[in-house]
Structure 1
Amino acid sequence: MKFYVDFDDCLCETAKAFTVIAKRFFGKDVPYEKVRFFNLQQSFELTDDEYEKLMLEGHRTEELLSYDETPGASKVLNELIDKGHEVFVITGRPSSSYEASRRWLDEHGLERATLYCLNKYGRDSFIKNSDFNLELEDYYKMSFDYAIEDSPMAFKFFDHMPELKVLVIDRPWNHECELPGENYTRCFDWEQIRREIGE
């Protein structure tokens, strides 16, 4: 089987790290549980300039490497790889963050997972014809059996795969989101993801 896995807030606790950055730089004290919007500019009530600064800081190599792993993620994914399944980490991070993201995966025991940067949200200075960037037209030629995702904004990227089983990691910004169909399942941790895949 083939698995699509989002990086931020699925493999690592990115939003929690961004709450610390927003408080440090702008005095915005928004607890993680109150991050109600996937759009962090909206969640932290930032100006355009502040948001740009937040994103630059959050994508520095030192910051990216410091993000905590979501408990159980690497263990479950390595179990899948050990069984012969393919794991593709497909992130909306800018392509400039590829090397740090690859290093984070390697340092967390996920050397065998393939990493691609996909310009999901139209905010990347895209490097065409690289080994690690996916253009949307190429992504739409791919198929997966399972997807692990947290962002309601990304659900549209699954429309071309009607048989896909989507496991949605429960996060504050998707609490109130109605899942699009019966093939979507809300999961509260990686242990539940393991059980859903096993079933």
Structure 2
Amino acid sequence: MTGLNICIDIDGTLTEPYYWLDYANQYFNKTIGVEEVIQYEIHEVMGVSFEAFIEFYRALGPEMHAKAQIRSNVHEVLWKLNEKHQIYYVTARNENMTDITRRWLEDHKLPKGELYLLGSHHKAEKAKELHCDIFIEDSFENCVELSSAGFEVILLDCNYNQHSLLPGMVRVKGWTEIDKIIDGMIKESGIA
């Protein structure tokens, strides 16, 4: 297969970005609204220690990931991209979430791209290994690292990633814009 190597994050990129909020509010007895989620790190949003977040994640992470809602238009755009390009799912989730993650992808009938659970937000090395042409992400910090390593990055707009873009980064509101950007890249490069 020719075409682009497209790396795609999962949480906040394929999933709705705030799917964890109701769980965290209930667990920590908070009433944080979506508009207040202006930081990426959940423990900072909730005003709790990182250790408290880890306990929350151990208790509810599997259920949250299994029940996460999918973003609008993901299904249609990914299947279109899958016709001509290689799709790689690259997530910071730990390996112990492999089965839940695979099941979520299957339950939402998404293309069977290779899945990499890194257990880390540092994704540039994996992107190099996969000869990534474009990375789709919601974490601004991940986008900075990826663009600094020379990758083209599409940043899905969220309350928590409102920072000035660096060269190689483009901000989009949703998956229909991603489809248009990738179509434009294909036309510019002459890839069939």
Would the TM-score normalized by the shorter structure come out above 0.5? yes
1:147 aligns with 2:150: no
- The aligned residue for residue 81 of structure 1 is 82
C-alpha distance in 2, partners of 1:159/1:151? Answer: 14
Q: Tell me by how many angstroms 1:50 deviates.
A: 2.2
Change (3 A) 1:70 1:145: same
TM-score normalised by L of structure 1:
0.83
1:10 aligns with 2:13: yes
Aligned ranges for residues 109-120 of structure 1 at < 5 Å? 109-120=109-120
Higher helix share: 2
Q: Deviations over 1:151-172 (max 9, x none)?
A: 0221213433x2x321100001
Letter in 2 for 1:180: L
1:37 aligns with 2:25: no
C-alpha distance in 2, partners of 1:28/1:117? Answer: 30
Q: Deviations over 1:23-42 (max 9, x none)?
A: 11111111112111111111
Aligned residues with identical type, % of pairs? 22
Letter in 2 for 1:150: D
Structure 1 residue runs of 5 or longer lacking an equivalent are 123-133
Are the equivalent residues in 2 in contact too, given 1:120–1:154 (CA < 8 A)? Answer: no
Letter in 1 for 2:182: I
Q: Tell me by how many angstroms 1:139 deviates.
A: 4.9
Q: Tell me by how many angstroms 1:48 deviates.
A: 3.5
Are the equivalent residues in 1 in contact too, given 2:147–2:169 (CA < 8 A)? Answer: no
Change (3 A) 1:186 1:58: farther
Change (3 A) 1:195 1:140: closer
TM-score normalised by L of structure 2:
0.85
C-alpha distance in 1, partners of 2:49/2:137? Answer: 27
Q: Deviations over 1:53-81 (max 9, x none)?
A: 22223422x33111100111121011111
Secondary structure, counterpart of 2:129 in structure 1: coil
C-alpha distance in 1, partners of 2:19/2:127? Answer: 29
1:173 aligns with 2:160: yes
Are the equivalent residues in 2 in contact too, given 1:22–1:29 (CA < 8 A)? Answer: no
Change (3 A) 1:144 1:48: closer
Change (3 A) 1:58 1:154: farther
- The aligned residue for residue 187 of structure 2 is none
C-alpha distance in 1, partners of 2:40/2:53? Answer: 13
Secondary structure, counterpart of 1:148 in structure 2: strand
Q: Tell me by how many angstroms 1:51 deviates.
A: 1.0
Letter in 2 for 1:159: S
Give RMSD over aligned pairs.
Answer: 1.9
Aligned ranges for residues 45-194 of structure 1 at < 5 Å? 45-60=47-62, 62-82=63-83, 84-121=84-121, 139-155=127-143, 156-160=145-149, 162=150, 164-175=151-162, 177-181=163-167, 183-194=168-179
Structure 2 residue runs of 5 or longer lacking an equivalent are 185-192
Are the equivalent residues in 1 in contact too, given 2:13–2:71 (CA < 8 A)? Answer: yes
